[in-house]
Amino acid sequence: MSFISEQIKVIKEKDPAIKSSIEVLLYPSFWANINHFVAHGLYKRKRFFLARLVSQLSRSLTGIEIHPGATIGRGFFIDHGMGVVIGETCEIGDNVLLYQGVTLGGTGKDSGKRHPTIGNNVLVGSGAKVLGPIHVGNNVRIGSGSVVLKDVPDDVTVVGIPAKWKDKNTVEDHPSDNLDQLKVPDIVEEEIAQLQKRLEELEALIKAQQGQEEPDHSQAGNTKESA
């Protein structure tokens, strides 16, 4: 299958709104991927100026900025796409879905690997920021608006600022296939609920101990009367 045919297939699979193959010509993701394919080829040949020229023209056309040095796997799709930024040393696996406003960026002027590595079958929700030379595992869902600053294991859902997750949350095999940004846990609420439950247990324990230590005044009164 040619690269263009693959892009058409991916868009038709990922977007339920599309009605015909010809509509892919109106998708920013389609042109961003085609242009990056060209720019990345020039980049690997060390034609850096031409590579950047193609990527900047693509940015103007689509609103999606992909550095020509970024490595992107198969089945990549950007839904809507406006405001997406992908850095030079970013590595993206197969079957990855990004929503609008996502940044896969760096954190400073460090040389070498500066941008994240994204595993296979990953969904990154709207406005999420994944920053630095971190690794995001396979089958991960990153909730909208999250800020990810450290490595993420496989098969978890991450949310929050900074992003948190529970060990091995139950997620489907390929979050990038169901397009769902809403089924994410409220980890902060869950932590507060756990703290509240623990507090109630401690209060009950303290009351029980106080009840055991309280003197029996009725017995003391009976002793005085009998005397």
- Reported as a single tens digit per residue, the pLDDT across 146-191 is 999 999 999 999 998 888 887 665 556 677 666 566 666 667 667 7
- How many domains, the chain? 2
DSSP 25: G
Token readout for 227 is 């005397």
Predicted TM-score (pTM) of the model is 0.77
Query: Same structural domain for residues 146 and 218?
Result: no
83 and 54 share a domain? yes
Q: Is residue 8 located within the same domain as residue 37?
A: yes
**Do 132 and 28 share a structural domain?**
yes
17 confidence band (pLDDT: 50, 70, 90): confident
Distance CA 44, CA 48 (A): 8
Q: What are the tokens at 108?
A: 């400073």
CATH number of the domain that residue 121 is part of: 2.160.10.10
Domain residues for the domain of 222 are: 189-226
One domain, residues 109 and 15: yes
Indicate the DSSP class of residue 215: -
Shared-domain flag, residues 141 and 201? no
What rounded mean pLDDT belongs to the chain? 86
